[in-house]
Amino acid sequence: MVILTKIYTKTGDDGTTGLGSGERRKKFDLRVEAYGTVDETNAAVGMARLSTGADPALADLDAMLMRIQNDLFDLGADLSTPPTDEDLGYEPLRIVEAQVTRLEAEIDQLNADLSPLNSFVLPGGSPAATALHMARTISRRAERLSVELADQEPAMVSSHVRQYLNRLSDFLFVASRWTNDKGAADVLWVPGKNR
């Protein structure tokens, strides 16, 4: 259980932040950017849930999004604690294959209801779909940062983290279409329409 008794510590006043390992890094460090963007993704998913949680027809999707929010905290914890041979005094939390597999199954479940696409989809339609598109674009940024981090610090970012973030943007895309009357209310891109 996490217990927060004091919110400000002043330890970051020098422009650094503590990783889960205790190591201090600059607040603009790529690892901090990556897990910070995962946190931003989580907040965007929370915004989407304002719409999905209010609609009984979207209750199953809302439960999926709640699981994703919890997974994103796990993923942030994973990224904020780089692997080390040192004893940290606790077992670091890691994203596991089962979380990726569950996300894939939920993508397949939602996608089964959708008609095939003949064009790219513009973010829009319902409020829920628009919010899910916003979360999708932020999750793509988190993925790009995590891949860059993995390139700079080989073996310090697990393949499950990268897989989860890759699947997450797919999930959010499919979910956005699903909330748009299973794709019937999608706003489609018309190439060159306004020339």
pLDDT digits (tens, 9 = 90+) for 53-63: 999 999 999 99
Residue 92 is predicted with a pLDDT of 86
pLDDT digits (tens, 9 = 90+) for 83-117: 887 888 888 899 999 999 999 999 999 999 998 88
Q: How many CA atoms lie within 13 A of 151 on its CB side?
A: 8
Count Cβ atoms within 10 A of the Cβ of residue 84 and give its class: 0-12 exposed, 13-18 middle, 19 or more buried. middle
SS3 of residue 124 by DSSP: coil
Q: pLDDT truncated to tens, each residue of the chain (195 aa)? A: 566 677 777 766 777 777 777 777 777 889 999 999 999 999 999 999 999 999 999 999 999 999 999 999 999 999 999 888 788 888 889 999 999 999 999 999 999 999 888 899 999 999 999 999 999 999 999 999 999 999 998 888 999 999 999 999 999 999 999 999 999 999 999 999 999
Contact 79, 146 (CB under 8 A): yes
* Identity of the amino acid at 20: G
Contact 51, 128 (CB under 8 A): yes
Residue 67 is predicted with a pLDDT of 98
Contact 159, 146 (CB under 8 A): no
- Is the domain spanning 26-80+93-184 CATH 3.40.30.10? The answer is no
pTM beyond 0.85, yes or no: yes
B/e letters for 3-22, b = 16+ CB within 10 Å, e = fewer, are eeeeeeeeeeeeebbebbee
Contact 38, 75 (CB under 8 A): yes
Q: Which H helix or E strand runs over 188? A: strand 187-188
Residue 179 is predicted with a pLDDT of 97
Contact 52, 58 (CB under 8 A): yes
SS3 of residue 158 by DSSP: coil
Residue 76 is predicted with a pLDDT of 96
